[in-house]
């Protein structure tokens, strides 16, 4: 029997590529997002679009209830939905910071809370949390985004040990540079928040760095294939990294002292 997968953030980027790829490989896929109009093309792959706003409890509950009613189970949850509120910590309005954490952390964890009882009952399941290289390395002007991803890394570690006795795996995916609308939206946020502030020179450097690297980004299918490999492994690793520069950057983070890492990062924002 085909395993049932819920992919959040399925209207674009990694989420959309993952939903399509898994559907093409025999999974029963539910794609969830706020913008359901952007998921209508998924129907040709047999994917069922579901409305989901991770800041609204009623839509989170309705999403899980709908899938359990129709499919009877959720075997795999892929917490992919998220965005980046960019801007200097001094500049970013605190309500924007709260919204960042609400979507990237609290919404994802609330959805996970609602999915876990069914997985525990079935004594099996996989929770896949899409983090980022930015969940291990913090860049200037993205503090709240990095805080959300650092949080997902820690929550995944705790949860992995909590649910292991019930036959449930928790897997972290750490993408590097990926071609998607995420980067453009983040840059727009950065310029809006800090483009005219005391940090404007650093913003200009960050824009140049983004322009230099965006052509080398990987396609979302790279991460979709990585997710498939992870969920099909008999004993999945706790973390998988993929996409442009991901493994190299994580290697630097694991070997370089903090001050040297700071200098390396700041050299790319000039």
pLDDT band at residue 182 under the 50/70/90 scheme: confident
> Is 145 an annotated catalytic residue?
yes
Pairing of strands 48-51, 76-79: unpaired
pLDDT tens for residues 73-123? 999 999 999 999 999 999 999 999 999 999 999 999 999 999 999 999 999
CB-based burial label for 253 (10 Å; 0-12, 13-18, 19+)? middle
Q: Please say if the pLDDT value at position 210 is more than 90.
A: no
Task: Spell out the domain ranges in the chain.
Answer: 4-267
pTM (predicted TM-score): 0.95
Instruction: Output the pLDDT for position 35.
Output: 87
Average pLDDT score over residue span 228-235: 97
- Average pLDDT taken over every residue of the chain: 96
Which residue in 11, 132, 148, 244 is the catalytic one? Answer: 11
Higher-pLDDT residue of 185 and 145 is 145
> Is 149 an annotated catalytic residue?
yes
Q: Give the number of other CB atoms < 10 A from CB of residue 70.
A: 12
Q: Please say if the pLDDT value at position 213 is more than 90.
A: no
In CATH, the number for domain 4-267 is 3.40.50.720
> Is 131 an annotated catalytic residue?
yes
Instruction: Output the pLDDT for position 181.
Output: 81
Q: Please say if the pLDDT value at position 203 is more than 90.
A: yes
Which residue in 3, 27, 149, 194 is the catalytic one? Answer: 149
Distance CA 100, CA 193 (A): 14
**Helix ranges, the chain (H):** 13-24, 57-71, 94-101, 108-122, 143-163, 181-194, 200-213, 221-232, 246-255, 258-267
Q: Please say if the pLDDT value at position 192 is more than 90.
A: yes
Average pLDDT score over residue span 148-169: 98
Which residue in 131, 132, 148, 156 is the catalytic one? Answer: 131
Radius of gyration of the chain, Cα coordinates, nearest whole angstrom: 18
pLDDT tens for residues 17-68? 999 999 999 999 999 999 899 999 999 999 999 999 999 999 999 999 999 9
pLDDT band at residue 231 under the 50/70/90 scheme: very high
Average pLDDT score over residue span 132-152: 97
pLDDT band at residue 270 under the 50/70/90 scheme: confident
Q: Give the number of other CB atoms < 10 A from CB of residue 232.
A: 11
Instruction: Output the pLDDT for position 269.
Output: 82
Which residue in 16, 27, 85, 145 is the catalytic one? Answer: 145
User: In terms of C-beta distances under 8 Å and separation of at least 24 residues, what long-range contacts does 260-265 make, across chains too?
Assistant: 261/137, 265/137, 265/139, 265/140
Which residues on neighbouring strands pair with residue 173, listed in sequence order?
130, 240
Instruction: Output the pLDDT for position 185.
Output: 87
Q: Please say if the pLDDT value at position 245 is more than 90.
A: yes
Q: Please say if the pLDDT value at position 1 is more than 90.
A: no
Token match 């690297």: residue?
213
């Amino acid at each position: 029997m085909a395993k049932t997968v819920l992919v959040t953030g399925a209207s674009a980027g990694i989420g959309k590529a993952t939903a399509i790829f898994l559907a093409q490989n025999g999974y029963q896929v539910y794609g969830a997002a706020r913008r359901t109009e952007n998921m209508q093309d998924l129907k040709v792959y047999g994917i069922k679009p579901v409305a989901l706003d991770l800041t609204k409890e009623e839509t989170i509950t309705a999403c899980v209830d709908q899938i359990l009613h129709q499919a009877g189970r959720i075997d795999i949850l892929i917490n992919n939905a998220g965005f980046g509120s960019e801007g200097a910590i001094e500049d970013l309005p605190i309500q924007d910071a709260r919204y960042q954490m609400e979507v990237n952390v609290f919404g994802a964890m609330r959805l996970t809370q609602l999915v876990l009882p069914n997985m525990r009952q079935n004594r099996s399941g996989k929770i896949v949390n899409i983090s980022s290289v930015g969940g291990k390395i913090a860049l200037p002007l993205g503090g709240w985004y990095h805080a959300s991803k650092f949080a997902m890394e820690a929550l995944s570690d705790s949860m992995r040990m909590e649910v292991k006795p019930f036959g449930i795996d928790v897997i972290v995916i750490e993408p590097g540079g990926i071609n998607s609308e995420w980067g453009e939206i983040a840059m727009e946020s950065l310029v809006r928040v800090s483009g005219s502030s005391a940090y404007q020179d650093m913003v200009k450097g960050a824009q140049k760095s983004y322009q230099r690297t965006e052509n080398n980004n990987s396609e979302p299918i790279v991460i979709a294939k990585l997710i498939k490999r992870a969920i099909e492994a008999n004993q999945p690793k706790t973390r998988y990294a993929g996409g442009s520069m991901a493994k190299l950057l994580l290697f630097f983070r694991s070997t370089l002292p903090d001050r040297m890492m700071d200098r390396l990062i700041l050299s790319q924002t000039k």
